[in-house]
Structure 1
Amino acid sequence: MTSKKVVELFYDVVSPYSWVGFEIMCRYRNVWNIELKLRPAFLGGVMQGSGNKPPGLVPNKFMYMTKDLNRLSQYCDVPLSPPSDPFEAMFKKGSLAAMRFVAAVQEREKGGDGQVEQVSRELWRRIWSEDKDITQPASLSEAAMKAGLSTNEIEELLKLSTSKQIKDKLKSTTEEALEHGSFGFPMMVCHVNGKPEMFWGNDRFELMAHCIGEKWIGPQPDKPSAKL
């Protein structure tokens, strides 16, 4: 078997599109010959650094996003249910504390992304399925507990997430995303023949598969119909 191609997934739990991309890439991790690396970053920093504007500032785009997420939820089997005030959840409250917490989980879990995956998923579930807060320590603790972390581990992570070490880590990953040309999430970077290839969004998986020499069989590759 040829060596696995590295695919980096840059994401933020405040982004519903990131959740869709995250779940699809996790599903394809065992279908394609790839090594998936999770790269939690800060969407707010990418938006500011790239000069991009939130969809809430473009009314037609915001209205379309609501319909689009409903269709994506059904098609990709991701339990998306927009919060009562998506603009407030995404851009007024933001995700800085949540992403620092995820970065702390990753720092503590050196050598693997299992807990990072579970904690990220629970944070997405809180904001994009249950309309709950992801900014306060209590809400981060609840998500981490559902992901299987112990009370002692959570206390350690909450403390670590406010350290300069983790703030610098998240900032560095966000800057790296910008260096790859990111203007939003999800962003995948495929390393092919020593060259990074950047793909943005949830409608580029087929093109990405072609680039890495794999086959795209839909957002739910484990379903029998996907293999027909």
Structure 2
Amino acid sequence: MKHVDFYLDFISPYSYLAFEQLPKALEGLSYSVAYKPILFGAVLKHHGQLGPAEIPSKREWTYRQVLWLGHVNGIPIEMPASHPYNPLAHLRLALATTSDGSISRYVAETIFREVWRGGEEAADAGRLAALAARLEPRREPGSEAVKAQLKANTDEAIAQNVFGVPAYAVDGRLIWGFDSLAMLRAALQGDPWFDGPQWQGAAERPSLQRTNR
């Protein structure tokens, strides 16, 4: 049985889509998954990148594409009333339900569906309070221990070269994106391509050096 670390942020519609599609994409395989909430914004800052929603034309395309992907894959999805929003409350609540850095599939599903179904305000205080009552966290979501765990998860992801979500770490390799679930399946099946020259060669290819004139 192979193990997958699934790095996610509830703010990401692609994380939601991948989460919902994962059982179907990996059907028939023997595997285990650790669902690990991370702060996507901190990953972007580390790499000096803007998020999709910070570029107006990309923001529009992202929202259209994720709604299409939900439609074509049979995954219910509605945009929250406001997006992007601050996902810290959801991330901390998720981690407060456990004593380590991974969360149950039930917790991830409950929060993802709270955000990405119904079209309501994801960060509404009343809805957050009701969500916390449903999930019955073991720890205080605002505690220093929970905050430290979120940072530790995010640091771990960055150390594994995660640059976006969803990201899947398996056998020391990183696979990224909703559209790479077929690639993840192949990796779990032990496809020899992953040990061939194309995987490693992609990392070793030199880039064109720019010169100032």
Q: TM-score normalised by the shorter chain: which range applies? A: 0.7 to 0.9
Of 81, 95, 98, the residue aligned with 1:103 is 95
TM-score normalised over the length of structure 1:
0.74
Tell me how large the CA RMSD over aligned residues is.
2.5
Change (3 A) 1:48 1:29: same
Give a deviation string over 1:1-41, Cα, whole Å, max 9, x none: xxx00111000111111011112224456521111111111
Q: CA separation in 2, counterparts of 1:26 and 1:144?
A: 26
For the pair 1:61 / 2:58, whether they are aligned, the reply is yes
Structure 2: unaligned runs, 5 residues or longer: 192-213
Normalization by structure 2: what TM-score? 0.79
Matching residue within 40, 47, 50 for 2:44: 47
Report what 1:199 is aligned to: 175
Match of 2:203 in 1: none
Task: Call closer, same or farther: CA 1:199–1:104 in 2, change over 3 Å.
Answer: same
The answer to whether the aligner puts 1:32 opposite 2:29 as a matched pair is yes
Q: 1:70 aligns with which of 67, 70, 92?
A: 67
Shift in Å at residue 122 of structure 1? 2.5
Are 1:83 and 2:97 an aligned pair?
no
Aligned to 2:155: 175
**Residue identity matched to 1:105:** T
Task: Mark the runs of 5 or more structure 1 residues left unpaired by the alignment.
Answer: 216-228
Residue aligned with 1:106, SS: coil
- Tell me if the contact between 2:26 and 2:185 (Cα under 8 Å) persists in the aligned partners: no
Question: CA deviation digits over 1:100-158, x for unaligned, max 9?
Answer: 11011122xx6985xx3223222222322223344355323322455xx4xxx35x54x
SS of residue matched to 1:37: strand
* Partner secondary structure for residue 179 of structure 2: coil
Report 1:12-27 matches (<5 A). 12-27=9-24
* Map of 2:187 onto structure 1: 211
Paired with 2:163 and 2:112, the residues of 1 have a C-alpha distance of: 20
Amino acid corresponding to residue 180 of structure 1 in structure 2: Q
- Where has structure 1 moved over 6 Å in runs of 4 or more? none
Q: 1:112 to 1:16 in 2, by over 3 A?
A: closer
Larger radius of gyration: 2
Closer/same/farther in 2, CA of residues 106 and 31 from structure 1, 3 Å limit: farther
The residue type paired with residue 209 of structure 1 is R
The CA distance in 1 between the partners of 2:128 and 2:101, in whole Å, is 23
CA shift, 1:164, in A, is 1.1
Could you tell me how far 1:179 is from its partner in structure 2? 1.0
The answer to whether 1:117 aligns with 2:114 is no
